[in-house]
Amino acid sequence: MPELPEVETVKNALAPYIEGETIKSFHFYTPRLRQELDAALFNKTFSGKKITRLKRRSKYLLFEFDDQKWILSHLGMTGSWRICKLTEERKKHEHISIRLDNDQELRYCDPRRFGEFRVITAPLDSTTDPQALSHLGPEPFDESYSQEYLWDLSRSKTKPIKNFIMDPRTVCGIGNIYASETLFRCGISPLRKTQKLRKKDCLNLINHSQSVLQSAIDAGGTTIIDFQAPDGSEGWFHQQLNVYGREGEDCVQCDKIIKRIVQAGRSSFYCPGCQK
Ligand SMILES: [Zn+2]
């Protein structure tokens, strides 16, 4: 499943091709992804409009226009975008084409169709519009994701720390792989109760989650999941994983064996020697 580093990679790869370009038309080849796709609404709202910026918020790609309207794209389990010539033949599972007025097309492929593609006509932080993104916590590289913030938020929480840092209301984009890797680097067991965090643990969590995510972004995402960047290259972050996917193998730091447990329906990998 594409996580924050993969989505950041997609954004960085696509942005130079589409920012400043004008949309000619939208073409849908399936009636729905996660939600219904309303071709008339997309064409009425955005045809002839210039894409001013491509942004990422959490795991969403946001096409920004200059009038407070947005297109939100979520890659679901298997979604990917690519840019190609208008004349290129459509591939299997390509469900959306956005025709640009420079004779290029932006195409969305999604074999399992769990992705999202929808129109937002309210400010992104609107608390009254259910389509907006106001439920999301801070971005992991924002100043608001601070030691004080985590410390205050963690005081009343009894759930395990792994579930706490994966909750998008705490911070966006720390997916399953990155949560296990971050906790290993911090020496914190995924089972520890959130309110048992010490103040210095909060700072460590911030620093290590940022460095884990940044390494993955620099590497172009992981290849644990079925992911390809829009330029066709694969990420290689999996070579740097210390615990994720390594159940039964030796710890890279001590003589213990890496364990796997299931928390909130997701696998957690950790070293019982290094993480308390
Ligand atoms: Zn260890």
DSSP conformation letters of 195-212: GG--HHHHHHHHHHHHHH
Q: Compute the distance from residue 206 Cα to the ligand 1 centre, in Å.
A: 21
Q: Compute the distance from residue 192 Cα to the ligand 1 centre, in Å.
A: 16
Q: Compute the distance from residue 177 Cα to the ligand 1 centre, in Å.
A: 17
- What is the DSSP code (8-state) at residue 19? T
Confidence of residue 258 (pLDDT cuts 50, 70, 90): very high
Of 59, 52, 122, 269, give the one whose Cα is nearest residue 181: 269
For the cut 90, the answer to whether the pLDDT of residue 141 exceeds it is: yes
For the cut 80, the answer to whether the pLDDT of residue 198 exceeds it is: yes
What is the pLDDT, as a whole number, of residue 237?
Answer: 54
Binding residues for DNA: 93, 112, 157
What is the pLDDT, as a whole number, of residue 128?
Answer: 74
For the cut 80, the answer to whether the pLDDT of residue 132 exceeds it is: no
Task: Read off the pLDDT of each residue in 246-267 and give the average, rounded to a whole number.
Answer: 96
Domains of the chain: which residue ranges? 4-120, 147-270
Q: Which range (2-11, 85-94, 256-265) has the least confidence?
A: 2-11
Q: Compute the distance from residue 215 Cα to the ligand 1 centre, in Å.
A: 21
What is the pLDDT, as a whole number, of residue 233?
Answer: 44
Confidence of residue 172 (pLDDT cuts 50, 70, 90): very high
CATH number assigned to the domain covering 4-120:
3.20.190.10
Question: Considering the chain, what percentage of its residues have pLDDT values greater than 70?
Answer: 93
CA 104/CA 95 separation, integer angstroms? 16
Task: Read off the pLDDT of each residue in 122-149 and give the average, rounded to a whole number.
Answer: 87
Class of domain 147-270: mainly alpha
Task: Read off the pLDDT of each residue in 99-112 and give the average, rounded to a whole number.
Answer: 94
Q: Which range (88-97, 120-129, 169-178, 263-272) has the least confidence?
A: 120-129
User: Which residues are the active-site residues?
Assistant: 2-3, 59, 266
Alpha helices by DSSP H, the chain: 4-18, 39-46, 147-154, 161-166, 176-186, 199-219
CA 31/CA 142 separation, integer angstroms? 37
Which residues are near ligand 1, the ion (C-beta closer than 5 Å)? 251, 253-254, 256, 271, 273-274
- Residue 184: what are its φ and ψ, rounded to 5°? -60, -50
Q: In whole numbers, what is the pLDDT of the chain averaged over residues?
A: 90
By three-state DSSP, how is residue 267 classified? strand
What is the pLDDT, as a whole number, of residue 227?
Answer: 46
Q: Compute the distance from residue 254 Cα to the ligand 1 centre, in Å.
A: 4
What is the pLDDT, as a whole number, of residue 235?
Answer: 44
Q: Compute the distance from residue 218 Cα to the ligand 1 centre, in Å.
A: 26
Which of residues 236 and 117 earns the better pLDDT score?
117
